Structure 1
């Protein structure tokens, strides 16, 4: 049986400013109610778009930007394996602790945490079967990513990498992130948490163009759900607990590798 010990790389980009913020936030990440709610809503959107249990149970899944594994651990019972990758080592440490003996998810044996910035679809770090612990040369049936795209400077490069990790002809990508609906979308993050934020949401047109451009077919980008989230009463005031509730629509981006 595979060990839940996290695998790490020595890529210096892992220690960038954005990841420093996530390393600092990792211990308290799961206590944020808006993060929990967004993950639950995303999970429901994923399941409604994925194959039936008889097929999904055979899937080997790659998650990009898994954080502390909130979505990973919801999906794990429905799939064969899940390789959970995040560039922030602090996040992977939390997930690894959950999966370790005595952890809250010690019974889960098909999730493999990996601390890495994945830029090469053939990177050996993702070429280990989470179930057996043995090296494999296969491709993934599904790649998922939630609330990651707005942190990525070059989305085309990311989706090119994702495409390369998928099985030709059948492999699918499904991602979720909040929509850029105008200037107010900036309020999704408090001003003190802007490190690593590359854009204030994504747009339907941009994502369709990117997915098609890197080699995906059956591309579909649509609103999947709306998250109600407290924001600062005024930008920079830091009073998220007391601020107004705003609605943030989320886009679900799908495609199949040619």
Structure 2
């Protein structure tokens, strides 16, 4: 987590990160039509860019991240904005647990590809979501590994294949109800511009 702790203070200064969060938030809002009776959780919230775009959408939002640096910046932002329904939480869902069936919506942006054991996290999402709850995952479309080539110790995933990911989600009771390529990122490798599309996949947890 040292990488993210070090970047936390300057995270919000990146216009691309702000634009990306805005686009994903709009897509989630338009599909789910959230309301003030719903409780949401953002997994891998960072400084809360996505949740701040959805701050009027839910009754409460728990913002969870395992980077202490990100949570510290987030806490200051929440204090300044006086958002009493925002609940920052320093937690590692790969090892820690949250209350069962506590949330109506779980959403995550550019976090899943950093998780080596996605099965464990998908099971955790299943456990904390209410029946018929929504899971919204925005992340990289499967790529050749160049996106994180500059990070020597990266041990996550090179994006996700749509069909393979949908099959994996189905094992945990999630049905894909929406899929869209919603954003595109660019990286410059010695003058060579590479483009990396971002998908939004919205799934519904089966009724129990």
Would you say same fold, with TM above 0.5?
yes
- Cα shift at 1:194: 4.8
> Which ranges in structure 2 are unaligned for 5 or more consecutive residues?
none
- Cα shift at 1:244: 4.9
Q: How far apart in 1 are the matches of 2:95 and 2:155? A: 23
1:112 aligned to which of 80, 87, 91: 87
Matched, 1:211 2:169: yes
Distance 1:232-1:67 versus aligned 2 partners, 3 A rule: same
1:175 aligned to which of 137, 145, 163: 137
What do residues 183-211 of structure 1 show as CA deviations (whole Å, max 9, x unaligned)?
2xx333461x3544511211102210111
Matched, 1:58 2:37: yes
Q: Name segments (4+ residues, structure 1) moved above 4 Å.
A: none
Whether the aligned pair in 1 keeps the contact of 2:105 and 2:129 (CA below 8 Å) is: yes
How many residue pairs were aligned? Answer: 206
> Which ranges in structure 1 are unaligned for 5 or more consecutive residues?
1-18, 128-136, 234-242
Counterparts of 1:1-258 in structure 2, within 5 Å, are 19-51=1-33, 56-100=35-79, 103=80, 105=81, 107-119=82-94, 123=97, 126-127=98-99, 139-168=102-131, 170-181=132-143, 183=144, 186-189=145-148, 191=150, 193-217=151-175, 219-220=176-177, 222-233=179-190, 243-258=191-206
Of Structure 1 and Structure 2, the greater strand share is in 2
- Cα shift at 1:138: 5.6
Distance 1:194-1:201 versus aligned 2 partners, 3 A rule: farther
The SS at the match of 2:103 is coil
C-alpha RMSD of matched pairs (Å): 2.1
TM (norm. structure 2) is 0.89
